[in-house]
Chain A
Amino acid sequence: MKKITAPLTGKQIRSLKAGELVFLSGIIYTARDQAHLRLKRDIGKNRKTPLDLKGQVIYYCGPTPSGKRAIGSCGPTTSGRMDGSTPQMLEAGVRGLIGKGRRSEPVRKAIKKHGAVYFLAPAGAGAYISGCVIDSRAVAYEELGPEAVYRLEVRDLPLIVGIDYGGKDLYSRSI
């Protein structure tokens, strides 16, 4: 299986095809519903976001508390709820998205326009994915609890390419 490293280079992104299984290592950031609303507001007002989004990979995830581990269970949440903010996130420089489920047509187009990529993570396998996370720390919006932004260091996180840089959508074939 192909191995890739985040933050992703343009060359890496262009090598990925919808439907392909890959292992991702490197640094990614969690952000879900409320974090997206806040980031989008900052972007809209041309304010500095609490993390530099350029070139980064965003993971739609609200983990369970870590206890003694690097992180608790941490599978993906439904990506569709982030559709309304995703074009702005891509505009602000985000190049990789990780979640579960379908994306809207504007998101697919924005992915194509910005040469980004959308990955599907194993859905409902939070304990398994926890084992792929070596380190985690909250970097923004800590008061949101599970909806805070966490910086995760991951090793060999198994993913499927959902929408590739050319805008090809895995789900447009199966559903």
Chain B
Amino acid sequence: MTRKVPAREIQNKVKKLFFKANIMMRPDIKKALEKAYAKERSVRSRYMLKILLDNAEIAKKEKLPLCQDTGLAVIFVEMGCDVRVTGGGIMEALNRGVEEAYTEYNFRKSVVMDPVSREYRNTNTPAVAHLNIVKGSGLRITVMPKGFGSENKSRIMMLDPVQIGDAVTDFCVETVKLAGADACPPYVLGVGVGGTMDLCALLAKKALLKPLAKSGAGGNSLKLGKRILKQVNSLGIGVMGLGGECTALGVNIEMAPTHIAGCPVAVALSCHSLRSASGMV
């Protein structure tokens, strides 16, 4: 049975979700920051963690974005094959929803149309949209305003499958080390392993959408996640780079089958301001 969904409904949903994502701190992130605050001993780091928790309260109360970098708009759509979008195309609807949200709610529009000449565009579009066709007649939209301080420190590498050993762990730890204090630690690592180069990067991004596990390590490989988290947190970067054990709040890993000759690994690095929201249309 075909289910008709007006494009306008998709647009409205996108708008609502970007509002939520930019203004309300994700509950899992809040919990992780509260836990870090309770554990932290350094006066300076405690002070900064307290500011981050207060920041979340102020954002919610004043309807202000948690961070001024309200990001490049990344959208994941899971559309049932029985859905038919009416009254317009889906991409158009997604972009309109982004532009409306960023204009109406006073979010920062950070998109330049030409990456080389840096021509500025005052719409924050186009969004980076990933469309996935699934069974049924559901339509799920997940948005992620992705800040670029941490996006800039994300990395991908094609590892040698013959010498895999600790290479995945080492690559993740090295990525955080290179980011150092610059990209608003404590971080969250979305790790993709396997697939092709492009799929691997996507897996890493998607891993950031999963709520953080209590232990901090989640996704396809808990053992690997725990090891990465432990090593990252012994780097001594800490909150805002001030030192200490709180360098990352969590690691989520997504794996996929890959080729006999390869093992891609990607880290989508997120700052503590990891923002996303999801809902059905």
- The smallest C-beta distance from B275 to any residue of chain A, in angstroms, reads 11
> Contacting chain B: which of A8-16, A50-58, A65-73?
A65-73
Q: How big is the B interface, by class?
A: 35 or more
> Contacting chain A: which of B8-16, B125-133, B233-241?
B233-241
Do A61 and B238 touch (CB < 8 A)?
Answer: no
Interface assignment of B146: CB less than 8 Å from any CB of chain A: no
Among A34, A80, A127, the most chain B Cβ lie within 10 Å of the Cβ of A127
> Contacting chain A: which of B51-59, B159-167, B189-197, B259-267?
B51-59
Interface assignment of A125: CB less than 8 Å from any CB of chain B: yes
Interface assignment of A75: CB less than 8 Å from any CB of chain B: yes
Do A128 and B51 touch (CB < 8 A)?
Answer: yes
With A and B bound together, what is the CA distance between A122 and B239 in angstroms?
A: 10
In the complex, chain B residues whose CB is within 8 Å of the CB of A61: 68
For the complex, would chain B's binding face be called helix, strand, loop or mixed by DSSP majority?
A: loop
Which residue in chain B gives the minimum CB-CB distance to A175? Answer: B180
Do B241 and A102 touch (CB < 8 A)?
Answer: yes
Do A126 and B106 touch (CB < 8 A)?
Answer: no
Interface assignment of B107: CB less than 8 Å from any CB of chain A: yes
Interface assignment of A45: CB less than 8 Å from any CB of chain B: no
- The answer to whether residues A19 and B44 also contact, given A74-B68, A75-B68 and a CB cut-off of 8 A, is yes
With A and B bound together, what is the CA distance between A170 and B184 in angstroms?
A: 16
Interface assignment of B28: CB less than 8 Å from any CB of chain A: no
Q: Which of A34, A146, A174 contacts B243 (CB 8 A)?
A: A174
> Residues 152-164 of chain A: 1 if any B CB is under 8 Å from the residue's CB, otherwise 0?
0000001010000
> Residues 100-113 of chain B: 1 if any A CB is under 8 Å from the residue's CB, otherwise 0?
00000011111000
Which residue in chain A gives the minimum CB-CB distance to B236? Answer: A174
With A and B bound together, what is the CA distance between A123 and B271 in angstroms?
A: 10
Q: Which of B44, B56, B120 contacts A160 (CB 8 A)?
A: B44
- The answer to whether residues A127 and B65 also contact, given A19-B44, A175-B241 and a CB cut-off of 8 A, is yes
Interface assignment of A25: CB less than 8 Å from any CB of chain B: no
In the complex, chain A residues whose CB is within 8 Å of the CB of B62: 69, 127, 130
Do B51 and A158 touch (CB < 8 A)?
Answer: yes
Interface assignment of B48: CB less than 8 Å from any CB of chain A: yes
List 14 contacting pairs A-B, 8 Å CB cutoff, sorted by A: A64-B107, A73-B108, A100-B182, A100-B240, A101-B183, A126-B64, A127-B62, A130-B64, A144-B120, A146-B108, A158-B47, A160-B242, A171-B241, A174-B242
